[in-house]
Amino acid sequence: MALRRLFFLAIFSGLFLRCQSPQPLETPTTTSKPVANHHAQLFQLSTSKSDTFLHIYGSRKRVIARYFWGKSEHIAAHQKIYRKPSVVALSALFARMLHELQLGDGLIGVDNLDYLPSEITRNPKCKSVQKTGILDQEALIKMHAAVVFCYLLDGTGEADWLRLQRDSQAVVFIQSHLESHPLARAEWIRPMGWLLGRAALSDSLFRDIETRYLDLCKQSDTLTESPNTMLNLPFQGIWHIPNRDAYFTQLLHDAGLNPVWLKPQSHPGTGASTLPLEQALTHVQSADIWLNLGTARSKADIVNYEPRLFELVQKKKLRCYQNDRLLEANGANAFWDLGALHPERILSDLLTIRKSGPDKDLYFYRAL
């Protein structure tokens, strides 16, 4: 469940608007030149005549780690990356990135194999090192991986992870979940690709994602209807919704869907908020479309969450869509990792839903 919790939380994070390009945050050396990002805010690539640098940022754009690779043997305050075919990825998203970079054969460790989508390539000897949610540090060290890809959920606490770093083993933070724009999250395939010797491929993959996403935004702009849209179901009596500048809110806006819970001055910032149940039910009543319905597999399951939803679900012409079309028997749901890397596929689904298109045209979603 750890993977699913991570991406459930991460899907509500973020701040910046469509097509904004960040300014470089820091230049690693006086002789290096920054490589411009398209959307991402929390990493910076830079090159010199002899080396390539990667800086990673946490909360409040604070530098949390510095890496380099190239001809130099040592650069102050930077961890050298040794390109060996052995990687640990402590998230299904990172494993997905390795898969698309054609480096899955080097994946020797993941957090929990049970929730890794089956189509992701991995080494035959790949093992779980965080199956219970607690990292098995001894097992991780014994793997002798060249790179361990991990994350800081709130952008702090890097010291504990960096204690696992060795001369030949780098701990690299992938902070994509703290980016707010869908394309900013997807752009994190670039630093991973550059670091692992797949710079051209990673840039090409991202350009394709970006082009398709922005083309879909243009298509969205040509449509006139903007259906009221509600999200989620209560979890343990608490109804979560994304704030105004959050990641999934941006996807809804780009698809031309109206987040019905957003009123003037309400739910500012990134991350998520909670709604009182009565207020959430009022929003459902005024919605045309209802998405991301917890673990519900049918409309009957929705009513089991809250009996008062029966009349809304059964009598109101409310279109309900669940994001579990790619759910595997073991509970792995590609929506969270594949969707984070390919937001254009989510956006395409949302546009199809907006236009009341056929269910067969949906990739992640299905009509209930």
Question: 292-315: per-residue pLDDT in tens?
Answer: 999 899 988 888 877 777 777 776
Say whether pLDDT at 71 is over 90: yes
**150 found inside a domain:** yes
**352 found inside a domain:** yes
Are residue 234 and residue 278 in the same domain, yes or no?
Answer: yes
First and final C-alpha spacing in the chain: 24
Are residue 182 and residue 74 in the same domain, yes or no?
Answer: yes
What percent of the chain clears pLDDT 70, i.e. is strictly above it? 91
The residue-averaged pLDDT of 19-48 equals 75
Say whether pLDDT at 77 is over 50: yes
Residues 189 and 98 sit within 8 Å (Cβ to Cβ): no
Which DSSP string do the residues of 96-155 spell out, in sequence order?
A: HHHHHTT-GGGEEEES-GGGS-TTS---TT-EES-TTSS--HHHHHHHT-SEEEE--TTS
Are residue 236 and residue 123 in the same domain, yes or no?
Answer: no
Say whether pLDDT at 207 is over 50: yes
Domain CATH number, residue 57: 3.40.50.1980
**186 found inside a domain:** yes
Which pLDDT score is estimated for 40? 97
Q: Domain ends where: 153, 182, 198?
A: 198
Are residue 101 and residue 149 in the same domain, yes or no?
Answer: yes
Which pLDDT score is estimated for 30? 60
Using CA atoms, how far residue 140 sits from 110, 128, 136, 259, 350, in Å, is 10, 9, 6, 43, 40
Which pLDDT score is estimated for 6? 40
Which pLDDT score is estimated for 276? 92
Are residue 40 and residue 151 in the same domain, yes or no?
Answer: yes
Residues 12 and 242 sit within 8 Å (Cβ to Cβ): yes
The residue-averaged pLDDT of 191-209 equals 98
Are residue 146 and residue 233 in the same domain, yes or no?
Answer: no
Are residue 143 and residue 258 in the same domain, yes or no?
Answer: no
Q: Per the structure, how many domains does the chain have?
A: 2
Q: Residue 26 carries which side chain, given as an amino acid letter?
A: E
| Domain boundaries, position 73 | 27-198
Say whether pLDDT at 221 is over 50: yes
Are residue 188 and residue 246 in the same domain, yes or no?
Answer: no
**105 found inside a domain:** yes
CA separation for the pair 314, 218 (Å, rounded): 35
CA separation for the pair 264, 175 (Å, rounded): 30
Give the model confidence (pLDDT) of 114-170 as tens digits: 999 999 999 999 999 999 889 999 999 999 999 999 999 988 999 999 999 888 899
Domain CATH number, residue 264: 3.40.50
**322 found inside a domain:** yes
How does residue 183 score in pLDDT terms, banded at 50, 70 and 90?
very high
Which DSSP string do the residues of 147-209 spell out, in sequence order?
A: EEEE--TTS--HHHHHTT-BTTBEEEE--GGG--SHHHHHTTHHHHHHHTT-HHHHHHHHHHH
What percent of the chain clears pLDDT 90, i.e. is strictly above it? 75
**64 found inside a domain:** yes
How does residue 264 score in pLDDT terms, banded at 50, 70 and 90?
confident
Are residue 156 and residue 58 in the same domain, yes or no?
Answer: yes
Are residue 194 and residue 244 in the same domain, yes or no?
Answer: no
Query: What average pLDDT does the structure give for the chain?
Result: 89
Which residues make Cβ contacts (< 8 Å) with residue 307, sequence separation at least 6? Answer: none
Say whether pLDDT at 16 is over 60: no
**268 found inside a domain:** yes
Reduced to 3 states, what is the DSSP secondary structure of residue 78? coil
Which pLDDT score is estimated for 250? 97
Helices (H) and strands (E) in the chain, counts: 13, 17
| Full-model pTM | 0.90
Which of 15, 176, 34 shows the shortest CA–CA distance to 91?
A: 176
**325 found inside a domain:** yes
How does residue 28 score in pLDDT terms, banded at 50, 70 and 90?
low
Are residue 257 and residue 141 in the same domain, yes or no?
Answer: no
Which pLDDT score is estimated for 106? 97
The alpha carbon dihedral of 98, 90, 70, 85 has a sign of negative
Are residue 274 and residue 136 in the same domain, yes or no?
Answer: no
